[in-house]
Structure 1
C-alpha cells in the first residue's frame, strides 16, 4: 500500500503535491482545483496484475491531452474503472460524456485524451487494469465502446462492483486477506468488460477461455528461460497455429505477452524486495541474464530497474486518513 494526502504537504504546496500524487498513482495528467481550500487523499494498492485505490478529493478538473500521452513514460495503456461512492464526476472521452453518480461505474482509457470534471467533494474506488490484457481475458476486441458511459451497478455487475469497492476499502487494514484474493481480481475485472460489451457469437467464448489458460500457464512458468511458443503450445496441448490465432486482435503477440508478464512481475519484485539483487530477479523471471533484463525493462519503463527501485523507495508511507480532505 502507498498513501498520498495533501495534509502532508507544506502549506501552500498542496496543489503541486496532488499533481505529483496523481501522476504516481495513475497516469500523467494535468489537474487544477476548482476553488480554494483544495484537499485530496489516495490509498493505492499495487498488485502483480492490477492496481486498486480509493480516492477522495474536493472539486477539480483533470485533463490528459494527446501531447501528455506522447510525452508520458507510462509502461502500458490502462483501463480505469471508476466506482463512484460519493459526489458526481463528469467523464469525457471518445466524443462522449458520462456522469458518474454514487452507485454507478464509468470506464476510461489512458490511451486516448480524456477530461474529468467535478464541482463538489467526491469519493471513488478505482480499478486499473492493463487494457490489452483485460480485453484479451474477456475475449473481446479492444474498442472505445465502453468508454465514457454510465453503468448502474446492479445485478451481476453489482456483485463484481461490491468485490472491488470492499477490497479497496479494506486492503490497508487486511493486507493478508487482500493478498489471498489477488488471483481472482483480474478475471473479475475482465468480467466487467464481458458483462458490458455487446453480445458476441457464442463461438468466441472458447477462445476467451483458452487465452485465460495460456496466460495462467505463462505466469506459472515465468522462471523458465527456455519457454517459447512451441513449449507453451505443447504444455497446453495446442498447435502453434491455434496458439497464435488466440492472440490475434489483442494487440500483443504470444511472446510479447510473455515478456509483458515477466516485466510486470519484475516491477512488483523490485518494489517488494528492495534488497534482492537485480541479477537474481532477472534469473528468477526467465531472462537469460541481467543485460537482457535491463534492455527489456528500459525499453518498456523508460528507466533501468535500479532507477525504478530508487523511485519506488522514495514513495511515502501510509498515513491515517482524515474524515474529509481539506476539512
Structure 2
C-alpha cells in the first residue's frame, strides 16, 4: 500500500459524475494494488471506501455500483505489490476468479486472492464488502496457492472468522481500534486460508496444512527438529522437506516467523512483560535470539515495535 494512510475515507461524491469512475479507478489503485477497472452497467456510478490499518492488516469497507476489476500480468510486472487479500461479502453478489477457479460471493461468504498472479473481480450490481489485505510474507506461501478463489461460507468456523473481521473493522471505523484483538488478525487470516485450501485439494493440501499447523504448535518449544515435526504429522522426513520446499521457506524460517508473530502479539498485549520473558514464552532460546529474529523479520527491535514503531 505504500503511502496509503492508516485511516482514510474516499468517495466519488468528491467529483462530478462525468469523472466519477476515473476517480474510482484511481481510488482502488491507491487503496489496494494497481488494477484495471470498468463499469458494467450504463448510467451514473457511485462508490466509497473506508480504510483502516491495524499493524500488518489493512481493512477496507467498499460500497460501490456494478463493475469489473482486473489485476493483469502487465500491472503485476510494473508494480511488484505482494499481498494476499480476502473479500467478505456484506451485501450483494460477486465473483472472484483466479488460478482457473471461480468463487461466488454472497452475503456472509469470504474468498481469497493473491496480488502476485492475475485475478478478476466481477460485481453485477450494487454491493458492499470488507476487504482484508496482508503482506504475502506474513502468511505461509503453500496455503495461499491452495486457497485462492475458493469460497468459505459464513457458517461454522467460517462464520467465526468473518464475524471477527467485520467486528474489528466496525470498531476501527468509529475510533476504537481494539489493540488487544489486532495481533490475532493475522493468525485468523491464516486459519481461514487453511479452511479454503482444505476444501480445494484435500490430499496434498491437507498434508501441507498439517505440517504448517504442527510447526505453529511446536514453535513455542526451543530446539524443535525436523524429526519432531515429521513424527507429529506421521510423515517421513522426505515428505516433510518436499512440503517445505513447496512452501518456499525452510523449517528454521517458518519457526522464526511463527515465534516472531507470537512475540508481536505478546509485546502489544502485555506491555509491561520483560522482553526476556517474552522470548521464553514464544520459544526463543534467549533474549538475544528474540532481538535478532525480530529485527530480521520486522526491521524493528522488540522495544521499537512495542512503542508503536
- TM-score class, shorter: 0.5 to 0.7
Q: Provide the rounded CA distance (Å) in 2 between the counterparts of 1:197 and 1:240.
A: 24
- Give, in angstroms, the shift of residue 238 of structure 1: 5.2
Q: Provide the rounded CA distance (Å) in 1 between the counterparts of 2:97 and 2:90.
A: 19
Deviation per CA, 1:133-182: give whole Å up to 9, x if none.
3226xxxx2453322222211011111110101212231213342x2311
- Of residues 65, 72, 79, the one that matches 1:65 is 72
Deviation per CA, 1:268-291: give whole Å up to 9, x if none.
xxxxxxxxxxxxxxxxx959xxxx
- The yes-or-no answer on 1:207 pairing with 2:215 is yes
Deviation per CA, 1:248-298: give whole Å up to 9, x if none.
54335667987xx9xxx9xxxxxxxxxxxxxxxxxxx959xxxxx8xxxxx
Q: Provide the rounded CA distance (Å) in 2 between the counterparts of 1:7 and 1:114.
A: 28
Q: Provide the rounded CA distance (Å) in 1 between the counterparts of 2:12 and 2:122.
A: 19
- Give, in angstroms, the shift of residue 132 of structure 1: 4.2
- Of residues 5, 9, 29, the one that matches 1:3 is 9
The answer on whether the counterparts of 1:91 and 1:114 sit within 8 Å (CA) in structure 2 is yes
- The yes-or-no answer on 1:53 pairing with 2:54 is no
Deviation per CA, 1:191-211: give whole Å up to 9, x if none.
112233335359623213345
- The yes-or-no answer on 1:15 pairing with 2:21 is yes
- Give, in angstroms, the shift of residue 21 of structure 1: 1.1
Q: Provide the rounded CA distance (Å) in 2 between the counterparts of 1:60 and 1:88.
A: 12
Q: 1:11 to 1:120 in 2, by over 3 A?
A: closer
TM-score, normalized by length of structure 1?
A: 0.63
Summarize the alignment of residues 149-188 of structure 1 with structure 2, pairs less than 5 Å apart.
Answer: 149-177=150-178, 179-188=179-188
Q: Provide the rounded CA distance (Å) in 2 between the counterparts of 1:143 and 1:169.
A: 26
Q: Provide the rounded CA distance (Å) in 1 between the counterparts of 2:177 and 2:112.
A: 28
Q: Provide the rounded CA distance (Å) in 2 between the counterparts of 1:52 and 1:252.
A: 27
Runs of at least 5 residues in structure 2 that lack an aligned partner in the other structure: 1-6, 230-240, 265-293, 300-309
Q: Provide the rounded CA distance (Å) in 2 between the counterparts of 1:65 and 1:145.
A: 20
Query: Who is 1:112 aligned against?
Result: 117
- Give, in angstroms, the shift of residue 49 of structure 1: 1.7
CA RMSD for the aligned pairs?
Answer: 3.3
- The yes-or-no answer on 1:191 pairing with 2:191 is yes
Q: 1:192 to 1:64 in 2, by over 3 A?
A: same
TM-score, normalized by length of structure 2?
A: 0.66
- Give, in angstroms, the shift of residue 103 of structure 1: 1.8
Q: Provide the rounded CA distance (Å) in 1 between the counterparts of 2:35 and 2:134.
A: 18
- Of residues 100, 105, 115, the one that matches 2:105 is 100
The answer on whether the counterparts of 1:132 and 1:251 sit within 8 Å (CA) in structure 2 is no
Query: Who is 1:122 aligned against?
Result: 127
Moved more, 89-98 or 158-167: 89-98
- The yes-or-no answer on 1:26 pairing with 2:32 is yes
Paired residues, number: 236
- Give, in angstroms, the shift of residue 126 of structure 1: 1.2
Q: 1:209 to 1:7 in 2, by over 3 A?
A: same
Deviation per CA, 1:93-124: give whole Å up to 9, x if none.
11122221112112211111111111210000
Q: Provide the rounded CA distance (Å) in 2 between the counterparts of 1:125 and 1:20.
A: 19
Query: Who is 1:81 aligned against?
Result: 86
Runs of at least 5 residues in structure 1 that lack an aligned partner in the other structure: 214-234, 266-284, 288-292, 294-327
